[in-house]
């Protein structure tokens, strides 16, 4: 009976999810319009038409198109079907959070509490109820890190080649699916293989040829699979619309934010930049409208002004992209310290993932609960502080004890934040890190003398 009681909170959580699916409605505005249009395009005209324009990453529009097809079959609105899909993915992410927390050394109770909180978190639940893509990535991120850890362990155990190949292929597949939701994950994955690159060097240095070859074998499978996805997807875009790229946003986001950060005016607005990290509204209480300098509108205006000037000079879209990229990197080389300083501030936004609710219509009683300032600010700042403490603890264990689960978790978090910090970071961009942060938080209390390093 006591064992069954352990699952009672999760049973009640499922009923709460079912209520939210029925009682909420996503607001189709801003980026949600683009995702909805892309999904409808896929449903009505297929992949050929999808690649005629440079669209967003494909997995979430594909999920929308499947939900739209099912709408015609079962007679239920596609948003309800899509919310169900995303909640199933959240359930998979909860199981992954539990297993990752256990890999990091957390006790079963803390790991289970972490998984339950992921399913109850207002911000994370909100992300499964809207038409934005963040929720689609959760299970692939957390299970990708888990299988990266397992692949490392199998490599160190000198298991059979076919078993090692299976682990490496599954790891790469999970990160490919994640990259099909958020393109920067492809770059993060290449950096996440750093311990395997180091194992190659270490193996040859100590004359362990077999160990080095196993590391080469895993790295080759992972890089070839990810490279095949990235290059083939770019080729399909090039053939369909003339752009050898995954998405249409990188050059704009990089250029506008780089110009804004490296403007002399930015150095006069450092306090506003710092106060804008948790929430822009906090900055506005003290500095008013001047905080808008650090919002997305400023960089968008810069992009629009320069794009119009280049269009007047006869620049094509591809020439404009090349100009934006080359100019942004040149400015970074000329002002490296200023760029690094503001990138660190921008990256800190990722820790405030437990934040305000977006673009979902809730029942009145939930609006009153979720809009309570004390609750919102408590969750926001406690989540950020605990995430930062947990990351520092994991860095300590990764460096001092050389614990590979911590090494891979820290590498993923650091590379993911770094891949976005050069651009404008919206609060929702930190949502994919939530399962990893929660697993780290669950493992904060792990006792060091019970742990064993795995590098040696």
The three state secondary structure string of 407-453 is HHHHHHHHHHHHHHHCCCCCHHHHHHHHHHHHHHHHCCCCCHHHCCC
Q: Which of 334, 362, 377 is the last residue of a domain?
A: 334
153, 237: one domain: yes
Element (H, E) at 26: strand 25-26
d(CA 435, CA 76): 30
Q: How confident is the model at residue 454 (pLDDT cuts 50, 70, 90)?
A: very low
CA–CA distances in Å: residue 114 to residues 22, 118, 138, 401 = 26, 6, 14, 24
Closest alpha carbon to 171 in 184, 159, 183, 153: 153
189, 278: one domain: no
The answer as to whether 15 is a domain residue is no
66 or 425, greater pLDDT: 66
Q: Which of 334, 364, 399 is the last residue of a domain?
A: 334
Which of these ranges, 33-47, 144-158, 302-316, has the smallest mean pLDDT? 302-316
d(CA 216, CA 342): 37
When divided into structural domains, the chain yields a total of: 2
Which of these ranges, 81-90, 280-289, 393-402, has the smallest mean pLDDT? 280-289
451 or 172, greater pLDDT: 172
- Average pLDDT for the chain: 89
184, 110: one domain: yes
Share of the chain above pLDDT 70, in %: 96
The answer as to whether 404 is a domain residue is yes
Q: How confident is the model at residue 242 (pLDDT cuts 50, 70, 90)?
A: confident
66 or 160, greater pLDDT: 66
265, 390: one domain: no
328, 387: one domain: no
Q: How confident is the model at residue 168 (pLDDT cuts 50, 70, 90)?
A: very high
Which of these ranges, 27-31, 117-121, 168-172, has the smallest mean pLDDT? 27-31
d(CA 283, CA 274): 8
378, 244: one domain: yes
The predicted model gives 318-332 an average pLDDT of: 88
60, 168: one domain: yes
The predicted model gives 98-109 an average pLDDT of: 94
pLDDT for res 372: 82
The answer as to whether 8 is a domain residue is no
Q: What are phi and psi of 354, to 5 degrees?
A: -85, 85
Q: What are phi and psi of 362, to 5 degrees?
A: -105, 160
pLDDT for res 189: 96
Which of these ranges, 117-126, 198-207, 367-376, has the smallest mean pLDDT? 367-376
Helices (H), 104-137: 108-120, 122-127
374, 226: one domain: yes
The answer as to whether 212 is a domain residue is yes
219, 325: one domain: no
List the structure tokens of 265.
Answer: 């005016």
292 or 443, greater pLDDT: 443
d(CA 428, CA 127): 8
Long-range contacts (CB closer than 8 Å, 24 or more residues apart) made by 107-114: 107/445, 110/442, 110/443, 110/445, 111/439, 111/442, 111/443, 112/6, 113/442, 114/438, 114/439, 114/441, 114/442
Decide: helix, strand or coil at residue 402. coil
pLDDT for res 447: 56
Q: Which residues pair with 25 in a beta bridge?
A: 361
Query: In the predicted model, is pLDDT for residue 422 greater than 70?
Result: yes
The answer as to whether 52 is a domain residue is yes
Which of these ranges, 165-174, 257-266, 411-420, has the smallest mean pLDDT? 257-266
The answer as to whether 20 is a domain residue is no
List the structure tokens of 179.
Answer: 């990259």
Query: In the predicted model, is pLDDT for residue 456 greater than 70?
Result: no
Q: How confident is the model at residue 376 (pLDDT cuts 50, 70, 90)?
A: confident
Whether residue 229 contacts residue 189, with contact meaning beta carbons closer than 8 Å, is answered with: no
The answer as to whether 14 is a domain residue is no
Q: What residues make up the domain containing 256?
A: 251-334
238, 263: one domain: no
271, 411: one domain: no
The answer as to whether 13 is a domain residue is no
Q: Which residues pair with 26 in a beta bridge?
A: 360
217, 275: one domain: no
pTM, to two decimals: 0.92
Share of the chain above pLDDT 90, in %: 58
Query: In the predicted model, is pLDDT for residue 453 greater than 50?
Result: no
DSSP string, 143-187: HHHHHHHHHHHHHHTT--HHHHHHHHHHHHHHHHHHHTT-THHHH
Which residues neighbour 275 within 8 Å (Cβ) at sequence distance 6 or greater?
282, 283, 286, 287, 291
pLDDT for res 425: 87
Query: In the predicted model, is pLDDT for residue 450 greater than 60?
Result: no
Q: What are phi and psi of 167, to 5 degrees?
A: -60, -45
Query: In the predicted model, is pLDDT for residue 289 greater than 90?
Result: no
Q: Which of 334, 363, 390 is the last residue of a domain?
A: 334
Whether residue 444 contacts residue 389, with contact meaning beta carbons closer than 8 Å, is answered with: yes
Give pLDDT tens digits for 196-221.
999 999 998 988 888 899 999 999 99
């Amino acid at each position: 009976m006591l064992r069954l009681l352990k699952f009672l909170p999760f049973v009640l959580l499922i009923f709460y999810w079912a209520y939210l699916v029925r009682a909420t409605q996503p607001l189709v505005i801003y980026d949600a319009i683009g995702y909805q249009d892309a999904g409808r395009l896929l449903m009505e005209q297929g992949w050929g038409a999808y690649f005629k324009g440079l669209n967003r990453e494909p997995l979430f529009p594909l999920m929308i198109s499947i939900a739209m097809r099912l709408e015609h079959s079962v007679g239920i609105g596609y948003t309800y079907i899509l919310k169900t899909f995303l909640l199933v993915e959240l359930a998979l992410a909860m199981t992954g959070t539990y297993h990752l927390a256990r890999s990091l050394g957390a006790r079963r109770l803390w790991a289970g509490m972490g998984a339950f909180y992921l399913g109850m978190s207002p911000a994370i639940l909100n992300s499964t109820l809207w038409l934005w893509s963040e929720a689609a990535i959760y299970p692939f991120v957390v299970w990708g890190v888990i299988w990266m850890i397992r692949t490392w362990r199998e490599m160190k155990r000198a298991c059979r080649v076919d078993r090692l190949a299976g682990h490496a292929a599954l790891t790469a597949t999970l990160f490919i699916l994640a990259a099909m939701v958020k393109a920067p994950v492809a770059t993060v994955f290449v950096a996440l293989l750093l311990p395997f690159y180091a194992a190659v060097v270490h193996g040859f240095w100590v004359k362990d040829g077999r160990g080095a070859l196993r590391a080469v074998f895993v790295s080759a499978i992972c890089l070839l699979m990810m490279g095949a996805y990235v290059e083939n997807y770019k080729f399909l875009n090039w053939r369909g619309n003339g752009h050898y790229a995954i998405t249409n946003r990188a050059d704009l986001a990089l250029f506008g934010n780089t110009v804004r950060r490296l403007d002399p005016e930015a150095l006069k607005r450092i306090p506003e930049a710092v106060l804008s990290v948790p929430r822009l509204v906090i900055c506005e209480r003290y500095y008013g409208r001047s905080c808008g300098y650090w919002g997305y509108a400023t960089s968008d205006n810069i992009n629009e002004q320069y794009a119009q000037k280049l269009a007047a000079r006869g620049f094509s879209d591809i020439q404009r992209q090349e100009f934006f990229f080359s100019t942004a990197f040149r400015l970074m080389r000329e002002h490296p310290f200023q760029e690094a300083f503001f990138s660190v501030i921008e990256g800190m936004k990722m820790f405030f993932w437990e934040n305000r609710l977006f673009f979902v219509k809730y029942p009145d009683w939930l609006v009153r609960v979720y809009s309570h300032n004390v609750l919102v600010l408590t969750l926001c700042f406690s989540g950020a502080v605990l995430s930062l403490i947990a990351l520092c603890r994991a860095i300590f264990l990764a460096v001092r004890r050389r614990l590979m689960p911590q090494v891979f978790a820290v590498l993923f978090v650091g590379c993911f934040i770094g891949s976005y910090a050069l651009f404008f970071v919206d609060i929702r961009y930190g949502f994919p890190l939530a399962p990893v942060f929660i697993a780290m938080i669950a493992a904060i209390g792990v006792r060091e003398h019970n742990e064993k390093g795995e590098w040696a």
